[in-house]
Amino acid sequence: RNSFNIDDPFQFESELNEEDRMIMETARDYAQSKLEPRALKGNQEEYFDPEIAGEMGELGLLGAYIDPEYGGSGASQTAYGLIAREIERVDSGYRSFMSVQSSLVMFPILTFGTEEQKKRFLPELATGRLIGCFGLTEPDHGSDPGAMTTTAVKTGDGWILNGAKMWITNAPIADVAVVWAKAKETEDDEGVIRGFLVEKEMDGFSAPATKYKMSLRASETGELVFEDLFVPEENVFPDITGLKGPFTCLNSARYGIVWGAVGAAEFCYRKARQYVMDRNQFGYPIGANQLPQTKLANMLTDISQMQLLAWRLGKLRDEGREHHSMVSLAKRNNCGKALEIARTARDMHGANGITGDYRVIHHMMNLESVNTYEGTYDIHGLILGRDITGIQAFMPRG
Ligand code: TGC
Ligand code: FAD
């Protein structure tokens, strides 16, 4: 007799190969044994434990798909996604740390960096001895990064940076920042977007922390401020120009988020399922009523779709068949659905749902950020809308 798995209805895990499964289990063991006990404190005290970087590095969870030559594990895209799923099952903030390090710092250095930059930074980032961040968003330019005003003006054997980035994950603890700025040969040039590796000890660089967030409290967020900061030519990505540089990195990070959202949603669904079976009202388990049952049915239906979408996207990435609009579709769907599931799970816990102990409200609050960063829900809708109709609707016409 075939069975129905109430955690994995369409049995996507049975499709994983041995290596991907082993990596998933390593990430799951680590996340459940080492991260989960720290999740409540991280959220309540707005605290990122710096030891996490080294622990993840030791297990090969940072930049897992990067070639072993540069310190990675040469893992598949599916394995990278499975790592994100296990970490975000505990806390989106820890997954943010891993995503930024892997997809937004190691990936651009691997893809756009010189051989010297790769050899210098990648092995250290893979072990977690160095921490990185990615600066694209500015105080006045979020969804529209092409309008950025941070500049890099050519001077002798380097560039002078001025400007500021905001909402940057890992900024206050980063040793190296991948910064996107308008590079100009002269002050009056219009400029073209290029990538710079800014190091924490450089003069004219600061990274103040953004405190009192109500979401992603276990993740360090901050600004990047550049005041006549000199960056030598050897710290510039040599060839990549234009928005496709940062957007190519975002494809990788958004893909990780597609999987991460699955983990957060699965956690909330399982918690709600357990809660309504354990708690009695009116003499019966809450789960004996029609409304809670259909809420669980809706959650499981959404989760099945999220799992299959993430798994299929990983396969297409591994085969080199991904288009970035597939990533937009999956990021938008999985983040939006995970947020809805977390909100419903919170409601199903009644008053207990607002406490830290049950942890559904942590996920709910975190997922507000996850649904916003790396392109908001609506921006991904507009990216898809442009593909479907051939008409851009980012700005009014006429
Ligand atoms: P557009 O004209 O569409 O494109 C400009 C150039 O870029 C190319 N391109 C892409 N290339 C690779 N991958 C993609 N996904 C690409 N999307 C576009 C495009 O082909 C073009 O190339 P070329 O050679 O013709 O110049 O640019 P636009 O200015 O109209 O862009 C509009 C829009 C909405 C697509 C874009 O601005 C956007 O995606 N906005 C959202 C911004 C965003 O996602 N920011 C994320 C910041 S990083 C972050 O949030 C990290 S959180 C991490 C964590 O903590 O986990
Ligand atoms: P805005 O662009 O001002 O948008 C505000 C609202 O208007 C949104 O609902 C949006 O969907 C809507 N909107 C905007 N334009 C349109 C339009 N044309 N049509 C219809 N609706 C529109 N950035 C980095 O570079 N690096 C990081 O590491 C990083 N980490 C982050 C961590 C956290 C916790 C958060 C919250 C953000 C982070 N970001 C990071 C920034 C993030 O990418 C931006 O917040 C996001 O891209 C949205 O930009 P914005 O906040 O400026 O919102």
pLDDT tens per residue across span 89-141? 999 999 999 999 999 999 999 999 999 999 999 999 999 999 999 999 999 99
Yes or no: say if 148 and 138 are a contact pair by the CB < 8 Å rule.
yes
Ligand 2 centroid, distance to 375 Cα (angstroms): 6
| DSSP for 202-268, written as a single string | STTEE--B----SSSTTS-EEEEEEEEEEEEGGGB-SS--STHHHHHHHHHHHHHHHHHHHHHHHHH
Angle at 111 between CA 108 and CA 115, to 5 degrees: 105
Alpha-carbon distances, residue 339 vs 215, 324, 335, 357 (angstroms): 13, 22, 6, 19
> Among residues 7, 21, 9, 369, which one has the least CA distance to residue 219?
369
Which ipTM score applies to this complex? 0.98
In the predicted structure, residue 163 carries a pLDDT above the cut 90 = yes
CA atoms of 115 and 352, how far apart (whole Å): 53
d(CA 318, CA 310): 12
Ligand 2 centroid–CA 215 distance in Å is 14
Ligand 2 close to Cβ of residue 92 (< 6 A)? no
d(CA 203, CA 89): 39
In this predicted model, what pLDDT tens digit does every residue of 49-88 receive, in sequence order? 999 999 999 999 999 999 999 999 999 999 999 999 999 9
221 lines ligand 2 (CB under 6 A): yes
Report how many helices (DSSP H) and strands (DSSP E) the chain contains, helices first: 12, 9
Residues 288-308 have a mean pLDDT of: 98
d(CA 355, CA 368): 18
378 CB near ligand 2 (under 6 Å):
yes
**In angstroms, what is the span from residue 353 Cα to ligand 2's centroid?**
28
Pairing of strands 132-135, 176-184: parallel
List Cα–Cα distances, 363 to 1, 37, 159, 231, 366, in angstroms: 36, 15, 42, 39, 5
DSSP for 140-178, written as a single string: TBSS-GGG---EEEEETTEEEEEEEEEEEETGGG-SEEE
User: Does 1 have pLDDT greater than 90?
Assistant: no
